[in-house]
Structure 1
């Protein structure tokens, strides 16, 4: 039986980040050209692309990746907030706060899931970093048990989980700041407000991806170092014994 083909991360980034950014930034203008969709249809197309991909992926694989699920929820929330802002004049002056809070919520939910699932049968930290595709967990846990160092072992995993949660908290702050930076000067009285809003949302989508991805990758590399260093001290095994051969 062949293993299921893994999702290509480049395709994921293309569909969920780059194409929506291009659509919102370049196709939101009103006009007679085919590519000038106008702000409403550009927003619909930008949201439909990642949402449709997420639904297709679930129907094909019948598995729902937790990150994809939160991302799809964020897409739907973006659509609802956009409708609210477009048709509620009283909300337009507060657009930076409204959209910024939405942008901050996504990484906070993702980070909280690392804490919530800690005691479950499938902790998210073990799925994402400390898993049997990288570490020889059976050998590690056997050695930890033999050395009676289970509490120290659990403490190391908990410490690394907290560090990872911290990276998402940092991303939430950065996302809130990005929303204020890009949307803070958007005047509610300009004639092409929807068009300008779409273009800014496209920029926030791109920079928001970096605001989540960069801290997470930096912290993930540091956590990997912490795990290897900590496990070497706990078990007495060297790095070659802790990690599976690549």
Structure 2
């Protein structure tokens, strides 16, 4: 095994993310929030402990600070704080909408910098051989042309986060109708977490995949070479 392979940061898997961020919290808030078990407050604490610990574990495994992992941890802490303080459900709805909206704005703003966020989101170093691609673009004098294509993909990716923001807000307003601090409210919080995946993640992923396919096509079209030439094997 090469030194590069040994030093490769470990990646947490899809099933782990699904289990600790969705499945376990939903089960805890849905079935352990009654007074005969943990009660509303402690069930929220236990449920949110799983994604929080998993997020910290992910940071340790990847050996680098990932802005999205940090946002996830902050989101969990805010949800816990708002719920335990028994603040109106409107605060949860605003928080749920604010985080993806901020990411969408960051995607658009960083498009005007040397390191567009869209490259980290869908065309990261593990997928694309950037040194080779940049060298090819510079040799053919097509760097500015390709950057204009990246700009288009940035707006596509940003739109996916803005869509997620709207859906997050509507989902929270629709589901969280009970009095904060009650068993019913905690169960609704679990239901909202469960529905967030099919209602929010899937439509957003469709747009992200569309942006990725668009950029793949543009790389091939601009350079005149097959996309496989610039992908890591």
Q: TM-score, normalised by structure 2?
A: 0.87
Partner of 1:72 in structure 2?
A: 73
Larger Rg: 1
Alignment of 1:161-180 (within 5 A): 161-180=154-173
Alpha-carbon distance, 1:193 to partner: 6.0
Q: How far apart in 2 are the matches of 1:225 and 1:53?
A: 30
Query: Does residue 26 in structure 1 map to residue 36 in structure 2?
Result: no
Unaligned runs of 5+ in 2: none
Of the three residues 3, 10, 18, the one matched with 1:5 is: 10
Q: Could you list the per-position Cα deviations for residues 140-191 of structure 1 after superposition, in whole angstroms to 9, with x for gaps in the alignment?
A: 222222222222111111110111010000011111111122124x3x4xxx
Q: How far apart in 2 are the matches of 1:224 and 1:74?
A: 27
Residue pair 2:107, 2:117 contacting (<8 A) in 1 also: yes
Q: How far apart in 1 are the matches of 2:114 and 2:15?
A: 30
After TM superposition, the structure 1 stretch with the greater mean CA deviation from structure 2, 144-153 or 74-83, is 144-153
Alignment of 1:153-192 (within 5 A): 153-184=146-177, 186=178, 188=179
Q: How far apart in 2 are the matches of 1:134 and 1:55?
A: 25
Query: Does residue 230 in structure 1 map to residue 218 in structure 2?
Result: yes
After TM superposition, the structure 1 stretch with the greater mean CA deviation from structure 2, 163-172 or 53-62, is 53-62
Q: TM-score, normalised by structure 1?
A: 0.82
Q: How far apart in 2 are the matches of 1:4 and 1:132?
A: 13
Residues 64 and 240 of structure 1: CA distance in aligned 2, closer, same or farther (over 3 Å) = closer
Once superposed, what is the RMSD of the aligned Cα atoms? 2.3
* Count, aligned residues: 228
Query: Does residue 213 in structure 1 map to residue 191 in structure 2?
Result: no
Partner of 2:127 in structure 1?
A: 134
